[in-house]
Amino acid sequence: MSMAPPTRVPGQSPAWAAWGALLSAAGQGLAVKDAASGCYVHANEVLLSWFGRDSCEVIGHTDAELVDAAANTALRAADQTALAQGGVLAAEHRITLGGRARDFAMCRLADGAEPGGPRWLLSIWTDLAERRQQESQARAALTQIELLQSANDALRRELADQALRDPASGLYARAHFEDQLRREVDLSSREHREFSIVFVEIDPQAAEGEAAAGEAQAGAGRGGPPASQTVQASLGRLLRGGTRAMDAACRLDERRFAVLLSGVGLATAHSRMEGLRRRCATEIVVYEGREMRFTVAMGVASFPHTAHSQDELIEACNAALREAQRRGGNHVALAAIRFEPA
């Protein structure tokens, strides 16, 4: 935009035009006001473009004639503060120009050319739109980075968790169970509270169903996971669904599984496992278009009622499992409660 030469004001510094041109090249506005009247005596090209006015419409006019009432009040108050305190005063203002609200950073400085002469108030205007946009872009980028970091952390945790799990059943592996058992024994010994463990083994009739399904698979000439994995996956889902977050459901070996029930006594453990046994017996597993059913035998032992050490607890649970299997499977057996002599 071409700019008409500003009205010459007595005592005006000839450097204003030079500084105005320099600041225009930097994309900043320069305004000079008469301190007494508040009228503009100089405005560079950038500032005039923000106002959307020619120099004759700005020079000799006050903020009250150029901006809305709220902005005028804020600008006038900041001008008076700069004149009163001396030095440079920095402030930010929101001004509606051309129907658009814009944010500006302003640095004001009062200047008097001669003692007793007129005082001028110089202000440098910086449009904050680009800065706000950069800040917004930086915040968006930071948010995106944080989201990516959270996703990566979740993926690492998931991969670490998968490394601890048996791929067929989706349950934790033996090492995890043994680690949890050691912790639970230590915690229960210190806090004098009980917990239970359960050994679960798939009954042999499931193997018969597997063999029949395996023959069908061989006749069809198709590959795929063994039928035992289908049964194990089904049992794994039932064990995960029947335990709490603080419990630990694990696979010990090819046919045996274990459940650690934190803070659960023998009677409650028996009740919960009996419900799980019934769900296993009614579960239908579909493999290669054939329906398969399976049952499980369970042995339940608790600490410290049926054993006073980790090794004793495991042996008591094994004995209970053998008793359940001796009864033909599809049964929940309890370990014997130890009675200490008085």
Tens digit of each residue's pLDDT (9 = 90 or more) over 323-340: 999 999 999 999 988 765
Note the pLDDT of residue 162.
63
Residues facing residue 257 across a β-bridge:
200, 251
Q: Report the range of poorest mean pLDDT among 77-81, 137-141, 286-290.
A: 286-290
Q: Report the range of poorest mean pLDDT among 57-61, 67-71, 232-236.
A: 232-236
- 75-85 pLDDT tens trace: 999 999 999 88
Question: Residue 40 pLDDT > 70, yes or no?
Answer: yes
Note the pLDDT of residue 115.
62
pTM: 0.51
Question: Residue 108 pLDDT > 90, yes or no?
Answer: yes
Q: Report the range of poorest mean pLDDT among 2-6, 29-33, 167-171, 232-236.
A: 2-6
Question: Residue 232 pLDDT > 90, yes or no?
Answer: no
Separation between Cα atoms, residue 323 and residue 328, nearest integer Å: 9
